[in-house]
Chain A
């Protein structure tokens, strides 16, 4: 693996430069071993998140036309951000995660001017989303909001297939993402800023209609008065609106089809899945959030110790290999989604003989248990170094499938002007995120929604037995409770349903001998 520290622009534009390099070196390609190259940037700037909210009727659509519409909307969102980023070299796209986008404003000073630039961009971007997406999905529209933070973060690009997202490690990338998931939600049409940042800006301090939610100040950025002279953002807004109209016209002629696979065996590879031809699955989404890594990054920054930062980066690259053992151990079809910061995401599919309904009995519990690995069974399959890394790190888990949605998820690659992002949409995608981000979920615990709890096997229901002072509709289980549930399940005897009364027989005790010496 090659590691190299680069500018943040080099990471954000990686796919574009990779294509150029690849074509320039086509003749040398066969002679060179493909080696993973990880690009790293030590950045200071503004991390900006935008969240599109729609009703579950659309985001967990069970009908083809709604599923289509939802993906179109996500593509529109990516298209709008792509238009803005293409024309403004200081706006970089880090992640497109379906309804959520993560951008970076490449300004390394926390001052009034930069905050004004952030607010102006947020306002135009919000207006573009409202003007293009809201009319299209009026009935299902639930708002669009943003949150931002400023500071230093380490940004990684692994360049792996389907993982074109940039991974950011550090508080400024983590805090706004967490804020987006907390209640009360950021108001629609608003930008949330941490109090200490908001106070640096005269514009925010003097703004009408700003209000505080905890340590955050929310500012209405929708429909702000536009300057009489056209700004660069104004021109971009017009361009985004024009492009959105063009894409609507283009789509009408396409006769798009979402492929509804009947079972796991029919799932098409996600590399070919686009918004025009997405992969449809009935599955669970699991998200595993690394505990306290952001705190460690912040501590390394505070020490001003470049070596400490480098060793954390190296450790994180090792951490990114930990899911391999989990995935091998689970031995089931799985779609790995891009990391979201220090959070692993994957879609767990049904085995070829089982239905989604059958998975609901056990999978949220069994997958959580294997990830948390309290008995070390999964870790025993890792090499010594990785096993040590695994032992030193703890995770909290969110997992969701859904009752009404029947686990339906749409998986597609969404393209921005220079990179592709593998995204997942549906009830499970959203609820697993809410579960994993819920306040009060600790390391070594797994959370799930009541809808999924209701269908669990009794042994697991005991493990997910509640959540004192936790969010309504969610329950959590500790790793130890999950292990206890597994032990209980292994201890259960199978009762055959019969017409004739069952008579006492010896307990179960199978045997095996080679066929040529004895029968069984």
Chain B
């Protein structure tokens, strides 16, 4: 318990507050228990918090729908967009329902865990929130650029993880083996210093 609020719920609320600093016009927060299977009916099911909000980028704003579980530092929040220019296509990192694949889940998990050795929880929540909003927005904005430039394929200039868990994990392992992941952590920490 934290201030009388169950820990899981407290995590959700704290993260939602962190996200709120990076968006505008947030809707009411909706808290729900996740759908479960009959076998798990009596088990404690994690709650999900969801809301919609506008993300403002230079010259325009668009709406995103956020949804996350009670361990937002372990599991990357789900973000959906209904922007009319969105290409709901595997090669453009978007599911058919508009869910944005803005991060590789394992990278998110391990990066937040590594940063937790150096940052306190509010700082971690802020990092996760900023990462989630800015990179989701960047993905949506890149779809708009693709429409404007009539791009037919995801450009090489835009970095992306390879498709599929195995391929992405292999690249992530290689990244760690070569020390690039540690370097990324060092870089992020160094950039925080005034």
Tell whether A506 pairs with B150 under 8 Å between CB atoms, given A496-B56, A518-B105, A518-B165. Answer: no
B10 lies within 8 A of chain A by Cβ: no
Q: Select which of B131, B142, B192 is within 8 A of A506 by beta carbon.
A: B131
Number of A-B contacts (CB under 8 A): 156
Q: Give the contacts of B149-163 with A (CB-CB under 8 A).
A: 149-150, 152, 155, 157-161, 163
In the complex, how many angstroms separate the beta carbon of B3 from the nearest chain A beta carbon?
22
Q: Select which of A332, A489, A500, A518 is within 8 A of B22 by beta carbon.
A: A500
Q: Select which of A366, A491, A499, A509 is within 8 A of B148 by beta carbon.
A: A366
Q: Select which of A363, A489, A511, A519 is within 8 A of B93 by beta carbon.
A: A511
A377 touches B93 (CB 8 A): no
Q: Select which of A366, A498, A506 is within 8 A of B149 by beta carbon.
A: A366
- Chain A residues with a Cβ under 8 A of chain B: 329-332, 351-353, 358, 361-363, 366, 369-370, 377, 486-487, 489-491, 493-500, 502-515, 517-520
CA distance A353 to B134 in the complex (A): 22
Q: Which chain B residues lie closer than 8 Å to A352 at the CB level?
A: 84
B168 lies within 8 A of chain A by Cβ: yes
Tell whether A487 pairs with B157 under 8 Å between CB atoms, given A500-B21, A510-B100. Answer: yes
A–B pairs, 30, beta carbons within 8 Å? A330-B150, A331-B150, A332-B150, A370-B150, A489-B149, A494-B57, A494-B141, A495-B57, A496-B22, A496-B137, A498-B21, A500-B21, A503-B192, A504-B127, A504-B188, A505-B134, A506-B107, A506-B111, A506-B184, A508-B138, A508-B159, A509-B135, A510-B103, A511-B103, A512-B91, A512-B101, A512-B163, A513-B165, A520-B101, A520-B102
CA distance A241 to B72 in the complex (A): 80
In the complex, how many angstroms separate the beta carbon of A520 from the nearest chain B beta carbon?
4
Q: Which chain A residues lie closer than 8 Å to B58 at the CB level?
A: 495, 497
12 new A-B pairs (CB below 8 Å) besides A330-B150, A505-B130, A513-B163?
A: A366-B148, A366-B149, A366-B150, A494-B137, A496-B22, A497-B57, A503-B192, A508-B135, A511-B101, A511-B160, A511-B163, A520-B93
- Chain B residues with a Cβ under 8 A of chain A: 21-23, 55-60, 76, 78, 83-85, 90-91, 93, 95, 99-105, 107, 111, 123, 126-127, 130-131, 133-135, 137-139, 141-142, 145, 147-150, 152, 155, 157-161, 163-165, 168, 184, 187-188, 191-192
CA distance A60 to B77 in the complex (A): 50
Q: Which chain A residues lie closer than 8 Å to B165 at the CB level?
A: 513, 517-518
A520 touches B99 (CB 8 A): yes
Tell whether A329 pairs with B150 under 8 Å between CB atoms, given A351-B85, A512-B163. Answer: yes
In the complex, how many angstroms separate the beta carbon of A233 from the nearest chain B beta carbon?
51
Tell whether A490 pairs with B155 under 8 Å between CB atoms, given A497-B58, A505-B135, A512-B101. Answer: yes
A509 touches B192 (CB 8 A): no
CA distance A42 to B133 in the complex (A): 65
When C-beta atoms are compared, the residue in chain B nearest to A518 turns out to be B165
Please give me the 9 A-B residue pairs with the lowest Cβ-Cβ distance, nearest first: A500-B21, A520-B101, A510-B93, A353-B84, A504-B191, A505-B131, A511-B161, A511-B104, A497-B56
Q: Which chain B residues lie closer than 8 Å to A361 at the CB level?
A: 59, 148
A510 touches B139 (CB 8 A): yes
CA distance A519 to B126 in the complex (A): 23
CA distance A510 to B89 in the complex (A): 13
In the complex, how many angstroms separate the beta carbon of B9 from the nearest chain A beta carbon?
22
CA distance A51 to B167 in the complex (A): 65
CA distance A498 to B160 in the complex (A): 25
CA distance A493 to B158 in the complex (A): 10
B130 touches A503 (CB 8 A): yes
Q: Which chain B residues lie closer than 8 Å to A517 at the CB level?
A: 164-165
Q: Which chain A residues lie closer than 8 Å to B107 at the CB level?
A: 506, 509, 511
CA distance A366 to B145 in the complex (A): 10
B150 touches A519 (CB 8 A): no
In the complex, how many angstroms separate the beta carbon of B14 from the nearest chain A beta carbon?
14
In the complex, how many angstroms separate the beta carbon of A127 from the nearest chain B beta carbon?
49
Q: Which chain B residues lie closer than 8 Å to A494 at the CB level?
A: 57, 134, 137-138, 141-142
When C-beta atoms are compared, the residue in chain B nearest to A498 turns out to be B22
CA distance A512 to B160 in the complex (A): 9
Q: Which chain A residues lie closer than 8 Å to B23 at the CB level?
A: 498
B105 touches A520 (CB 8 A): yes
Q: Which chain B residues lie closer than 8 Å to A498 at the CB level?
A: 21-23, 56, 130, 133
In the complex, how many angstroms separate the beta carbon of B185 from the nearest chain A beta carbon?
10
